[in-house]
Amino acid sequence: MSEQAADVLIVGAGAAGCAAAWKCLRSGLSVLLISDSLDTVFLADAETVPGIAGSSAFGSVAAEEAGEDARELHRQAKWLLEREPDLHLLQASVSTLLTEGGETAGVGTWEGPEFRARFTALCVGSFLAAELTAGELRERAGRPGRMSYPDLADDLRSHRVELRPSTYAFGSGPGSGSVTALVIAGNGLRDGVWLKQLPRTAAAGWCTQPELDFSGAARAGEELGRKVAAQAEAVS
């Protein structure tokens, strides 16, 4: 099954993906925002909340009512998106990019359905072929409770997109560990966001700049949204 989804299809509903969606919506574009879990849309932990208000327009609006309460921020962010008539939130696992005439035309999902859009944006965070290490535990997973998606990484490689590993640590004491995931190499991007090998495909956030914190990822997502909107206007 395949269907035309929106002007912009965004994979990943964390800080970068949600900020990108917000910017696209404010620019008059319709958006399909796909996440592996709708329970974690824009989810932050308590350590990152104080920096969010000034991180992007979307973060500022969400934080205005939430203050420094991480769970309330999550609720406010999700509410802001769900009330947008031109945005559809979908829970699915993206596994492939659909291409037509050498350009990305949408995505395929692990569940089966395919979705098409004029532009596709990857804001997939640290989940491309993620591998978790915690004590003696070694498994293919993101941070505890989060999945790993090797299929999308393999698909990007099949399109000659260069990926490199990056590792981050989490927690402290008995609950600490690290996750190693793949990120898109900077030399594979044009104008900071566009994949050179896949026209009409953009990427931002941890999957291109793993040094970013939550607020930085939100700013990067908003910049991606601005560039997608400009490109959409240019080709309309």
Predicted local confidence at residue 122, as pLDDT:
97
Sorting pLDDT into bands at 50, 70 and 90, what band is 50? Answer: low
Query: Which of 145 and 106 is assigned the larger pLDDT?
Result: 106
Sorting pLDDT into bands at 50, 70 and 90, what band is 71? Answer: confident
Nearest residue to 203 (alpha-carbon basis) of 104, 65, 83, 62: 104
What is the maximum alpha-carbon separation in the chain? 54
Q: What is the mean pLDDT of the chain?
A: 88
Measured N-to-C along each axis, helices 70-82 and 15-26 cross at an angle, to the nearest 10 degrees, of: 40
Mean pLDDT throughout 143-147? 72
Mean pLDDT throughout 79-93? 94
* Ramachandran region, residue 171 (left: φ > 0; alpha: ψ -120 to 50; beta: rest): left
State the Cα–Cα distance between residues 119 and 9, nearest whole angstrom.
6
Sorting pLDDT into bands at 50, 70 and 90, what band is 235? Answer: confident
Question: What are the residues whose beta carbons fall under 8 Å from the beta carbon of 162, sequence distance 6 or more?
Answer: 184, 185, 187, 188
Q: pTM to 2 decimals? A: 0.93
> Which domains occur in the chain, in start order?
2-124+186-235 (3.50.50.60)
Does pLDDT of 210 surpass 70?
yes
